[in-house]
């Protein structure tokens, strides 16, 4: 969302930790979604209300959203009606009933402003502009920045190297790399003395001095001394700060509401008072005290800011939206909570591990059968797991053809149809008498709810699989050979 505000080259217009809340669109109740590389909009329930038919677009603000169709930009209303026809080479959000638009491309590009009727309020003439805030909009003329009013009249002559937006009556400006603040008449209110400066918010402004960030009042006095490596503007009485790459939350007295390092905060947007955060357990959302609103989950591969109670996220490589209860409201799998998905993922990982272990154990039995047939050639293959293992004689002292001690006591158990090891049970059936010339190994899960795959093998040494449990051991080489090779 930060990038939506930047309608000029980054080198020409200064941004260093632009608070997303300054430029996130008003709460229209509509949210952008992309389907097959086309943009549409959903409501808070996840229902598509404007079909994904646009090549690109930005959020709604003041009832309109810029969208791109066949290379040109226009504006739609909340019903999806194109109220300003696509005609611009660039277009951004409405603020104060004005929107920046671009005509031409590259070095020929010029920016102006339109009203909500689509007519020019200020003709395209500037090489750079940004949003109108406080009745004044930044414009670039011949590489210098100044401010115009809604008629296009120059109110503050372009003579700054860089500027920020007006907020609470003041705007940050810079000449010769130092930053200070001017009022709407262009008078310097706070001397240009800082290395960086943000617009005012909640009565204070974020500035950088001697490499550290702190907060000043309207007189330029520090109310929170420079001590942070990074910071955001205040919103709702608090701000996100960083010390040695550890993020925390402070109030306007400088007191930590959330100490740095408790969690990693992933967003600078403070609008909802809910923050995307990450721990070793995964991503989730916290409030300003660090209490989890959506507990951390490894299924959240990405977690964007919470806007109006929902947030864009990514699960299994697919974009989706979740609500503040952690339920997927749009995208796959819609209707499931991240907690359910986390449980399913853990169960899936555990199942895959158990199945891999079972297949490996089958290979261990194959190796044991080969060793048995080489050691006792007159016996053929072992007819049972009991024969390959220690059977009922306890710890092996002298291995023999009756109990070869080639398997551990769990896998080479005595007198049972199945021998249990970990999450699977195993059986060996010798084929041919009196000396088996082949055999069938069967491995099937103990808990069919947790695992579903069964495995088998014969003297050909190929491990085979089927996607369902077995009630009884396989007794036929042909049946095992009909399963799919692993």
Would you say residue 297 lies in a domain? no
Q: What backbone phi and psi angles, to 5 degrees, belong to 362?
A: -60, -40
Q: How does pLDDT run across 72-87, given as a tens digit for each residue? A: 999 999 999 999 999 9
Would you say residue 206 lies in a domain? no
Mean pLDDT, to the nearest integer, of 449-473?
A: 93
Quick check: 12 pLDDT over 70? no
Last residue of a domain, one of 166, 190, 219: 166
pLDDT on residue 3? 31
For residue 341, what are the contacts with CB-CB under 8 A and spacing of at least 6? 297, 299, 315, 328, 333
SS (H, E, C) the chain: CHHHHCCCCCCCCCCCCCCHHHCCCCCCCCEEEEECCEEEEECCCCCEEEEEEECEECCCECCEEEEEECCEEEEEECCCCEEEEEEECEECCCECCEEEEEECCHHHCEEEEECCCCCEEEEEEECEECCCECCEEEEEECCEEEEECCCCCEEEEEEECEECCCECCEEEEEECCEEEEECCCCCEEEEEEECEECCCECCEEEEEECCEEEEECCCCCEEEEEEECEECCCECCEEEEEECCEEEEEECCCCEEECCCCCEECCCCCCCCEEEEEECCEEEEEECCCCEEEEEECCEEEEEEEECCEEEEEECCEEEEEECCCEEEECCCCCCEHHHHHHHHHHHHHHHHHHHHHHHHHHHHHHHHHHHHHHCHHHCCCCCHHHHCCCCCCCCCCCCCCCCCCCCCCCCCCCCCCEEECCEEEEEEEECCCCCCEEEEEEEECCCCCCCCEEEECCCCCCEEECCCCCCCCCCHHHHHCCEEC
Q: How does pLDDT run across 156-185, given as a tens digit for each residue? A: 999 999 999 999 999 999 998 999 999 999
Which tokens in the block code for residue 272? Answer: 């909802």
Which tokens in the block code for residue 379? Answer: 């016996």
**C-alpha closest to that of 139 among 368, 153, 197, 371:** 153
Last residue of a domain, one of 138, 166, 194: 166
- Print the domain residue range for 10: 1-166
Would you say residue 114 lies in a domain? yes
Task: Determine which of 19-33, 248-262, 296-310, 351-365 has the lowest per-residue pLDDT on average.
Answer: 19-33
**What mean pLDDT, rounded, does the chain reach?**
90
Would you say residue 299 lies in a domain? no
Which tokens in the block code for residue 81? Answer: 């009606």
Would you say residue 431 lies in a domain? yes
**CA–CA gap between residue 480 and residue 457 (Å, rounded):** 7
Q: How does pLDDT run across 120-153, given as a tens digit for each residue? A: 999 999 999 998 888 999 999 999 999 999 999 9
The gap from C-alpha 23 to its chain's centroid, in whole angstroms, comes to: 21
pLDDT on residue 26? 53
What is the distance in angstroms between the CA of the first residue and the CA of the last residue of the chain?
47
Last residue of a domain, one of 147, 166, 185: 166
Structural domain count of the chain: 2
Quick check: 11 pLDDT over 80? no
**CA–CA gap between residue 292 and residue 277 (Å, rounded):** 9
Would you say residue 355 lies in a domain? yes
Would you say residue 275 lies in a domain? no
Q: How does pLDDT run across 210-231, given as a tens digit for each residue? A: 999 999 999 999 999 999 999 9
**CA–CA gap between residue 479 and residue 455 (Å, rounded):** 12
Quick check: 445 pLDDT over 60? yes
pLDDT-based confidence at 281, cuts 50/70/90?
A: very high
Place of tokens 């023999």: 400
pLDDT-based confidence at 449, cuts 50/70/90?
A: confident
Would you say residue 224 lies in a domain? no
pLDDT on residue 392? 61
Contact 271, 309 (CB under 8 A): no
């Amino acid at each position: 969302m930060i990038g939506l505000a930047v309608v000029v080259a980054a080198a020409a217009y200064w941004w260093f930790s632009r608070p997303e809340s300054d430029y996130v669109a008003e709460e229209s109740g509509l949210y952008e979604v992309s389907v097959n590389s086309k943009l549409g909009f959903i409501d808070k329930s996840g229902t598509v209300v404007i079909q994904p038919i646009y090549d690109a677009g930005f959020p709604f603000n003041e009832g309109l959203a810029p969208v791109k169709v066949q290379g040109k930009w226009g504006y739609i209303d909340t019903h999806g009606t194109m109220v300003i026809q696509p005609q611009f080479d660039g277009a951004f959000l409405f603020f104060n009933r004005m929107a920046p638009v671009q005509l031409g491309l590259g070095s020929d590009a010029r920016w102006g402003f339109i009203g909500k009727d689509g007519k020019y309020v200020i003709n395209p003439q500037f090489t750079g502009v940004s949003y109108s805030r406080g009745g004044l909009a930044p414009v670039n003329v011949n590489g210098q920045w100044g401010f115009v009013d809604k008629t296009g009249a120059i109110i503050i002559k372009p003579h700054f190297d860089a500027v920020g937006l007006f907020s609470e009556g003041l705007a940050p400006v810079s000449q010769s790399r130092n930053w200070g603040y001017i009022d709407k008449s262009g008078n310097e209110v706070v001397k240009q003395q800082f290395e960086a400066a943000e617009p005012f918010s909640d009565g204070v402004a974020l500035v950088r001095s001697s490499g550290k960030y702190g907060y000043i009042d309207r007189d330029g006095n520090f109310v929170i001394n420079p001590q942070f490596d990074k910071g955001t503007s205040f919103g709702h009485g608090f701000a996100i700060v960083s010390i040695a790459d550890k993020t925390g939350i402070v109030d306007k007295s400088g007191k930590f509401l959330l100490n740095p390092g408790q969690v990693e905060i992933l967003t600078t947007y403070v609008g909802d008072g809910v923050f995307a955060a990450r721990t070793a357990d995964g991503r989730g959302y916290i409030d300003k005290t660090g209490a989890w609103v959506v507990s951390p989950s490894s299924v959240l591969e990405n977690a964007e800011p919470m806007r109006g109670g929902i947030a864009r996220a990514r699960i299994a490589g697919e974009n989706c939206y979740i609500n503040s209860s952690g339920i997927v409201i749009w995208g796959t799998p819609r209707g499931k909570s991240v907690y359910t998905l986390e449980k399913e993922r853990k169960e899936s990982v555990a199942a895959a591990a158990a199945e891999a272990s079972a297949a490996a154990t089958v290979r261990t039995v194959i190796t044991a059968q080969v060793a048995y047939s080489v050691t006792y050639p007159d016996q053929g293959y072992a007819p049972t797991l009991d024969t390959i293992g220690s059977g009922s004689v306890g710890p092996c002292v002298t291995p023999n053809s009756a109990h070869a001690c080639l398997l551990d006591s769990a896998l080479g158990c005595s007198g049972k149809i199945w021998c249990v090891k970990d999450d699977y049970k195993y059986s060996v059936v010798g084929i041919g008498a009196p000396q088996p010339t082949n055999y069938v190994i069967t491995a099937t899960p103990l808990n069919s709810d947790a695992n579903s795959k069964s495995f088998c093998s014969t003297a050909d040494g190929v491990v085979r699989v089927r996607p369902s449990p077995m009630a009884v051991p396989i007794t036929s080489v042909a049946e095992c050979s009909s399963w799919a090779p692993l």
